[in-house]
Structure 1
Amino acid sequence: MARLLNDDIVQQVRDLFNESLKEPVALIYFNTQQDDCMFCSETQQLLEEVSQISDKISLDIYDLDKDTEQVTKYKVDKAPAIVIAAKGGDDIKDYGIRYYGIPSGHEFSSLIQDILQVSERDSGLQPATREFLRSLTQPVHLQVFVTPTCPYCPRAVILTHRMAMESEMLTADMVEAQEFYELANKYGVSGVPHTDINDGRGTVVGAVPEEHFVAEIRRALGL
C-alpha cells in the first residue's frame, strides 16, 4: 500500500516533534468492518505513519463492533474515531478530544497540533477561559463539523480540543461533514466550520475568537 505521507511531510513532522513534543501521547483508534466506513483503512494507515515518527507516540487500535469495553470506556459511537490522550506509563488520561472521520487536508494540521498540545499537558488558553471551563457543572458536548478543504476549520477544532483539556465536563468532537453527512444534515450544517453545542442548544458558525466561543457556551447553558 502506498504511503499517505511523503518524505517531505514526514521530515517536517519529525522536526516539529523533535523540537516540541514533550510528554508521551496515546492515539486510540476505533475502526469498523462495516461497508459504510469510507476511510477507516486510510485513517488507520495515517495514524500508523504518524505514530512511527516518534517513540513518544503510541497507537492502540480497536474494533467499534467488537471491543465493547473500550467503546464504552471512551464513549465513541461511530467510526473512524480517534482519541488523543496523555500517556504516563500504563495510565491514560482522556481529555475528551475526539476525531470522527479522517483528519486529512487541512485537518492533518489539527491532528499534529493536538498531539503537541496534549504532550504539553497544558491547553494554552487564557486564564479567564480556564477559570470558566473548570467551573462547569453541566456537561458540554461540542461537535465541530469540518471538511478537509476548509482552511479555517483547524482553528475551531484546535480551540475546542484545548477547551476539552481544561474540563472533565466538556468533550469536543471534530466531525468530517462529508463522511457523516446525515449528522451534518441533522444540525443544519451549510458551511464549515459549524459547531453544535449540546445537541442544538447552541451554534457557532465560523472560526471565532476564544471569548466569543465562551460566550456562546454560556448562552447555551443559560448562564
Structure 2
Amino acid sequence: MPILSPADQEYLRQVFVERLRDPITIQLFTQRVTQISIPGYECATCRETNQLLEEVAALSEKITLEMYDLLQEGAKGREAGVEEIPAIILKGHNKGTLRFIGVPAGYEFATLIEDIIDVSRGTTELSPLSRETLAKLAQPVHIKVFVTPTCPYCPGVARLAHMMAIESEKVTADVIEVSEFPHIAQRYRIFAVPKVVINESLEFEGARPEAAFVAMVESVARAQAEPEQDSSA
C-alpha cells in the first residue's frame, strides 16, 4: 500500500515539474529486508523510509535514489559519516553536507521536499548577510538538530540548518529523528525538541531567528579557530 496518497503524489509531481532545475541524488543508507535477523542491527523504520523515498523518486526523472546496505557496504557508510540507519544524504548543488537520520515523516516530510528543491536549484532563502557570514566561516561546523515528527516548531530549525549546509562547504547539518534512537536522546539529554547542538560545544532548545542561528554558528567556528591561531603565534 502506498504511503503517499494519489492526491499527494500528483501535487508533488507538479511541484517538482515547476521547481526542480537540475538532477539530484538521494543516497539512502538502510537495511535490506532479509530473512535473517542480526542482533544489534534491527532497523525499525528502514522499510518505511525505503518505500517513502522510492515513491518520492518516482515522481521526477530528475531524482535518482541510491540505496546502500550499511552492513554490506560499511566502507561506503564510513566515508559518508553514517553511523545510524536509516540515513539520507542529498547531493546536488549543495556546498556542504545535509543529512536526515531517521524517517522524515510527519512535519519533517515537508523539510525533505524543500531540501530536494534547494539542492536541485543551488539556492536557498537565506539572507545575503547570512550567506556572506557562512562564506567566511573560519572552521568546519557540524550542526545536529534533534526533532520528532509531531513537533510543529522543528521543521523551521531543521530547514535553517540544512540551508546553511547548502550555502557553505564548511557546514555539515544533521536532522535527527530522536525518538527512533533512545541512546542518542540519552547521550544528548534530549528533554524537548527542537534541540540544536553545534560542534558538541554549544546547544540550545527551541527555535531561533535566522540571524541568531547563523551568529551562533559563526561564533563556534571563530572560537575553534582562535586556539589554533594562538598555538601558531
One of 25, 34, 42 as aligned partner of 1:36: 42
Equivalent residue, structure 2, for 1:58: 64
Gapped runs of 5+ residues in structure 2? 33-37, 224-233
Query: For the Cα contact (< 8 Å) 2:196–2:204, is it kept in 1?
Result: yes
Deviation at 1:218, TM superposition (A): 3.2
One of 37, 62, 71 as aligned partner of 2:77: 71
Equivalent residue, structure 2, for 1:211: 211
- After TM superposition, the structure 1 = structure 2 runs for residues 36-115 of structure 1, keeping only pairs within 5 Å, are 36-86=42-92, 95-115=96-116
1:167 and 1:123 map into 2 onto residues whose CA distance is: 11
Deviation at 1:148, TM superposition (A): 0.4
Equivalent residue, structure 2, for 1:138: 139
Aligned sequence identity (%):
40
2:190 and 2:216 map into 1 onto residues whose CA distance is: 17
1:79 and 1:95 map into 2 onto residues whose CA distance is: 20
2:187 and 2:133 map into 1 onto residues whose CA distance is: 29
Secondary structure, aligned partner of 1:110: helix
Deviation at 1:32, TM superposition (A): 2.6
Equivalent residue, structure 1, for 2:180: 179
Amino acid at match of 1:208: R
Residue 51 (structure 2) pairs with residue 25 (structure 1): no
Deviation at 1:17, TM superposition (A): 0.9
More strand by share: 1
Amino acid at match of 1:65: L
**Aligned alpha-carbon RMSD (Å):** 1.6
Query: For the Cα contact (< 8 Å) 1:32–1:64, is it kept in 2?
Result: yes
Amino acid at match of 2:220: A
Deviations 1:64-85 (A, max 9, x none): 1221342133221111000011
Equivalent residue, structure 2, for 1:14: 13
Deviation at 1:159, TM superposition (A): 0.8
Deviations 1:174-203 (A, max 9, x none): 10011112112211211111111112x111
Query: For the Cα contact (< 8 Å) 1:140–1:169, is it kept in 2?
Result: yes
Deviation at 1:16, TM superposition (A): 1.0
161-170 vs 54-63, greater mean Cα deviation: 161-170
The number of residue pairs the alignment matches comes to 216
Amino acid at match of 2:64: S
Equivalent residue, structure 1, for 2:227: none
1:13 and 1:152 map into 2 onto residues whose CA distance is: 23
